[in-house]
Structure 1
């Protein structure tokens, strides 16, 4: 039950947490020069002060919001099951890849951070919706009528190199077997200019996706993670793929998804946006930030 609203909420939090990393990685009293323009020197302290003025308030609010949500969730005994987080992580990866043109400026993040941000946002939703009553029958009906939402196909993370002829494909394969870098060869030889600039990286692909030739998925089925394929004939010529990651498909049982469905149905009854700042009074948050 992953949606675009949740996707962009996660992105916003990840961007803020990357901004926080900048603050913590710069010592304010450090006068080391990080840049020089003519005779003008820019120090770490100057950099830190600029970041604080531009982003300090937003980063501090995000830090407070996270503490409020996690503390209230613990106090109220609210938890998000690992199965729900696993599902959201898998779907996020697919949606993030499909939205790469919109999200190309998103800072790098690791999966542990992604899981934490998903948990944070879902706990915030739990806090807002815990008092809304949704009957067992409503939840069951939603599950039965939307079974496709709870069936996840196999997902493959693929990279490829596309060339014109089978002879060229065999040459590329020979170079790979001799130890050449897949990414470097993709940049040098692949006809797919969009993925070539990313080292051949296609991204996450669902089993029934139409975004890649269907031969890719058939071949990926027989590969181990890290294994390179033999040349594959496609409409554009020949391709060699490498399987970087595989996420097995799964079917989510009603009991595993019941609370997730209840939360989503309850959210439909809330008017306006949910915001952790509205919860500050419950923990007596004191705001002492003074912008200079």
Structure 2
């Protein structure tokens, strides 16, 4: 007796599915490695951009620190020396500037036609482009931050313990991811690198002066306090500033008093991670048509 198998549904074996998924993710890792390696080769050939990312923040630290060196801490509403006060702001804004510039390689690739070739290549996932760019920016930023922390140590501004280093690098990691994703989104929304550079120039200084990088909240006018309390960089700066001052870091006690209430390190981490998740979701929604 013959059995008719024409309507039989053949289901893949679990082992085959597992192998297929493993192969898919390994290909994405290989793509990410190749794309990020290309960015590191470009950085090696144009190393001046890397060193500029270290020298510029140090100039801010040295020049601004010297400018306000004779001003007493009480006038700024704090008992800190201004160099110590400024160090946290310099560290965060190094990460902010690096993340903000991360869209430039993509927009240059668009203008030179390389990005179209990349999109037409048989990539397993085109989001490996985002992963590679984010990985590159995070590694470069952390190296620059490490150099700046070493220089601040030489200037007499010390981090008390290893836990402080861990908190600083985690804060920088979270901030860099968020700003990098925003910059990459702008690279697709704007028509060219001139527009992106102009927007970076417009954004940079207002965000700097509307945070607590240069002055504490308690000496700001009320309208600026509201803006600074909304600015996520204020939370990152205050966390790093607290780490510089505390031998025993307590993540549950309030470290900053905003118009919205008192915030601890644990709450700040939660808010910054939540903000990154929102940025990722918006990015996926915004760019899904471009990656079909």
Tell me the TM-score range normalised by the shorter chain. Answer: under 0.3
Q: Pick the structure with more helix per residue.
A: 2
